[in-house]
């Protein structure tokens, strides 16, 4: 996927965060780059939700939610980004599994990793 889906001016990114402070910080950092839809992490019907909103990217702050998304969505998934505060890392899922893209989990670093994944998909797939 390159840039936004057809019919969108900017990419839509769902923030599935269990910690509201993470969603707030990422929403602010992503302003102007993409449309942001903050959602509560841990939703029971993740595939149904993602199918309904069809985001271009999804950011998780929970390894459980991130792993579940990969298991449920497979190769047809949008860009998946996991912010691992415990590892102080930002990971992107691609053809080789989860790959560390940054060694700092700051909102601006997440923004940069997500922008590269959305606009330069060949760099991580």
pLDDT in tens, the chain (125 residues): 456 667 778 999 999 999 999 999 999 999 999 999 999 998 888 888 888 899 999 999 999 999 988 888 776 679 999 999 888 899 999 878 899 998 889 999 999 999 999 998 765 55
In this prediction, residue 85 carries a pLDDT of 83
In this prediction, residue 1 carries a pLDDT of 44
In this prediction, residue 15 carries a pLDDT of 97
For 26-91, give the DSSP string: HHHHHTTTSEEEEEES--TTHHHHHHHH--SEEEES-HHHHHHHHHHHGGG--EEEEEETTTTEEE
Give the global pTM: 0.89
* Domains in the chain, CATH or no CATH each: 12-101 (3.40.50.11220)
State how far the Cα of 70 lies from the Cα of 98, in Å rounded to an integer: 10
In this prediction, residue 22 carries a pLDDT of 93
State how far the Cα of 30 lies from the Cα of 50, in Å rounded to an integer: 19
Pairs from 91-95 (Cβ < 8 Å, separation ≥ 24): 91/66, 92/117, 92/124, 93/66, 94/124, 94/125, 95/125
1: Cα separation from own chain's centroid = 13
């Amino acid at each position: 996927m390159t840039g936004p889906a057809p019919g969108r001016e900017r990419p839509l990114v769902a923030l599935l965060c269990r910690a509201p402070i993470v969603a707030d910080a990422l929403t602010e950092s992503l302003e102007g780059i993409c449309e942001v839809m903050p959602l509560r992490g841990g939703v029971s019907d993740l595939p149904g939700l993602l199918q309904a909103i069809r985001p271009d990217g999804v950011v998780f702050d929970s390894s459980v939610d991130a792993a579940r998304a990969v298991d449920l969505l497979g190769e047809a998934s949008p860009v998946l980004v996991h912010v691992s505060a415990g590892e102080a890392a930002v990971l992107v899922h691609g053809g080789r599994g989860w790959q560390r893209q940054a060694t700092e989990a700051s909102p601006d670093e997440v923004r940069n990793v997500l922008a590269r994944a959305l606009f330069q998909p060949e760099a991580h797939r």
